A and B are shown apart, each in its own frame.
Chain A
Amino acid sequence: MSDDIDLEEIERRALTAYNEDGLLDIFIGGYLIFSGLKAFIQLEHRNILLSILPGLGVLLYREVKKLVTYPRIGYMKLTKERRARIARDSIIVILVAAFVTLTGLFTGMGAPENAPRWVLFLNKYNLIFQGVVLAFMFLPLLRPINTGLSCRVPLLRLTLHGHVAEHGHSVRDHRRSNGGMWSLTPSTLHRKVP
C-alpha cells in the first residue's frame, strides 16, 4: 500500500460524517430568523414561544436526522472510550454554561451601594469576568497543539499534562518522541498504520 492509513483521521471522519449535512446550520439559521422576525409577530406569548423553541428544535433536529441523514450516511457506533469522552466534554460544556449564566446573573443584576467592594467590582466588570471564567473553564477541553514552543506556563502544562496522561503517555515521553515539541494529537503516535 502506498498510502498511509491514519486511524486518527478515520475516527475524525466518523465524527464529522454526520455533521456535513448542514442541518444544524439550517436549524440555527431558522431560529435566528424567527428571533429577528419576533418584532413583527403579533403573538400574545411570543417570548415564551421563543424560549421553548430551542428545546423543540432539538427534538425536531433528531427526527430530521433520522429521516434525512442516517439513511444516506449509514449507521455507526463509536467505541465506549470515545462515547465516554464525548459525554464528559458535554458535561463540562453544560456545567460551564450553567456557571457562566449564574455568575452573569449574579454579577450583572446590579448591586446595592452598601455591597462589599468585590461585589461592586464584579458588577462593574461583569462581562470581563465572565469572559475570563469562560476561557479558563474550557481549557480542559483543549487538545495539545504544536506551537513550537516549550510549555513553561505551569497552568497550561498542568492542563496539557493532564490531557496527555489520559492517553497513557507521560509528558516526558511525549517530548522525547517529538524532539521536544508537543505533538498535535498524542494518539496519532501509536495509531498510524504504515
Chain B
Amino acid sequence: MTLPSNKNLPSLNEIDRLIHEPARLLIMANLFVLEAADFLYLMNQTGLTFGNLSGHMTRLEEAGYIEVEKSFVDKRPNTRLSLTDAGRKAFEEYRKNMRGLLAGGV
C-alpha cells in the first residue's frame, strides 16, 4: 500500500516495515548494541518465545539484515546472531526516519 506523502514530512513509505514490527525491532535493537548474541540470550532479553523468535530471525536473515551461525559450544548446539552491515545501516536509517517523522509534528 502506498501512502500519500507530505513533501514537508518524511514519507511513511520510507519506514522499513520489516524493522518496524515490534518483535523484530526489539531483536534489531538488541543486536545493534552488541557485536553478536546467541539465541538463548535474545530470547531472555526480548521475552519472545522460541517459535516467535525463530520466525522473526528467519525473516531478518532472508532480508540480509542478520547473519546466523550455527555451532557447538561445550557439545551443545549454539545459534549465534549478528547484524550484517546492511542490517546496521538499515537500522540507522530506520531510526533517522522515525526521528524525522515524529519530529515533524505527527
Report which A residues bind B (CB closer than 8 A): 1, 5, 7, 10-11, 13-14, 17, 66, 71-80, 193-194
Decide if A7 touches B44 in the complex (CB within 8 Å).
no
B 32-69 contacts with A by CB, 8 A: 32-45
* Contact between chains at A77 and B26 (CB < 8 Å): no
Q: Do residues A78 and B25 form an inter-chain contact, with CB atoms below 8 A?
A: no
Contact flag A10-B45 (CB < 8 Å), given A74-B39, A79-B33, A193-B29 = yes
> Which residues in chain B, 53-91, are within 8 Å of chain A measured between CB atoms?
73-74, 76, 78, 80
The interface residues of chain A lying within 8 Å CB-to-CB of B45 are 10, 13-14, 17
Contact A5-B26, Cβ < 8 Å, known A75-B73, A193-B95? yes
CA distance A193 to B30 in the complex (A): 12
Chain B residues closer than 8 Å to A66, beta-carbon distance: 74
The answer on a CB contact under 8 Å between A11 and B33 is yes
Q: Does B105 sit within 8 A of A, measured CB to CB?
A: no
Q: CB < 8 Å: which of B25, B43, B74 contacts A1? A: B25
Which B residues have a C-beta under 8 Å from some C-beta of A? 20, 22, 25-26, 29-30, 32-45, 73-74, 76, 78, 80, 95, 98-99, 102
Q: Are A7 and B33 in contact (CB under 8 A)?
A: yes
Inter-chain CA distance A72–B43, complex, in Å, is: 11
A10, B27: Cα distance in complex, Å = 11
A residues in contact with B30, CB < 8 Å:
10, 14
